Amino acid sequence: MELVVFDLDGTLLNSQSGISAYTRDTLAMLTERHIAYTVATGRTLHASRNIIDGHGFALPQIYKNGAMIWCPTATDYSHTSFLTQNEIQHVLEAVMAQDVTPFIFTLAPGNYHAIYHTPLRNDVEKRLSETFAERSEVDVLPVERMPADADITNISALGPPARIQAIADMVEGEANLVAYSGDALEGAALSWIDIHHSDASKGNAVEVLKRELGIERVLCFGDSDNDLSMFALADECYAPDNAKPYVKAAASAVIGHHNEDGIARFLRERFGLPA
């Protein structure tokens, strides 16, 4: 059995963060031919499901860069990787030492998702808080309201590049932490960072799916550093033309741009689907 794994933003989705009509029809063709596919994204379930619902994503799905695997048939998470209390403390200290506000992503009993933050410092962080609430469709609340029994999947922050780099440097020295970072959409003078437990990677999560679903071969598509772990284990890995240079270098091949249905066009050729 072969499994196709898609990153979402910058890969399967277009520049409007949606699935185009051409890609929609391509996914339908894959379903008709019983070609298995799923998603591996840095997004949360709540920030993804309105996009992928109705497009045949019936298999377990990988969220938060591998921190969580959602099983649609059981309507529950089958696997999770949370930060420990010690790791949480180290990350929060590092973030706040740079005068940057941490956004803490949590999962509480009953699959209740929420994002908590310390006092917001500027208009950029206020807009980020509003964006999280709109995009993720979860509560975004002051950290004082965070339940004691909430598990933490990741901690994110947005700020000047030098401060974000200082946080990344700290995380690099922590054996059980991994950070992904990059330029923020909010402006060239800002960078973002997302910190997880090192067990939480797309690659590790894909390994779980291989084992549990009896997958023999994996084809994956991605454009950024959080996709490299699944590139490393895939039998075939493809980067869209808009991918970062080092992701292209790691790919089996570079294919079309994400905003030109590059992944869907490749799939039609790869699986002999009608053009």
Cα dihedral across residues 164, 51, 10, 249: positive or negative = positive
148-158 per-position pLDDT tens digit:
888 999 999 99
Domains of the chain by range and CATH?
2-80+200-270 (3.40.50.1000), 85-197 (3.30.1240.10)
What whole-number distance in Å separates Cα of residue 194 and Cα of residue 181? 6
Q: What is the amino acid identity at position 117?
A: H
**Do residues 2 and 40 make contact, with C-beta atoms less than 8 angstroms apart?**
no
Average pLDDT over residues 178-198: 84
Average pLDDT over residues 207-212: 97
Residue 159 has pLDDT above 70, yes or no: yes
Minimal CA–CA distance to 58: which of 165, 250, 248, 213?
Answer: 213
Contact partners, residue 254, CB within 8 Å, separation at least 6: 238, 239, 240, 241, 243, 248
What is the per-residue pLDDT for 175?
A: 86
Instruction: Record the tokens describing residue 271, joined without a space.
Output: 């699986």
Helix/strand/coil for 35: coil
Q: Place 89 in a pLDDT band, splitting at 50, 70 and 90.
A: very high
Helix/strand/coil for 244: coil
Contact partners, residue 124, CB within 8 Å, separation at least 6: 158, 186, 187, 190
Tell me the average pLDDT of the chain: 94
What is the per-residue pLDDT for 185?
A: 62
Compute CA distances 30 → 23, 37, 270, 273, whole Å. 11, 8, 11, 8
Helices and strands (H, E) in the chain, number of each type: 9, 14
Helix/strand/coil for 168: helix
Sheet with 76-80: strands ordered across: 61-63, 68-71, 76-80
112-138 per-position pLDDT tens digit:
899 999 999 999 899 999 988 888 789
Share of the chain above pLDDT 70, in %: 99
What whole-number distance in Å separates Cα of residue 275 and Cα of residue 265? 8
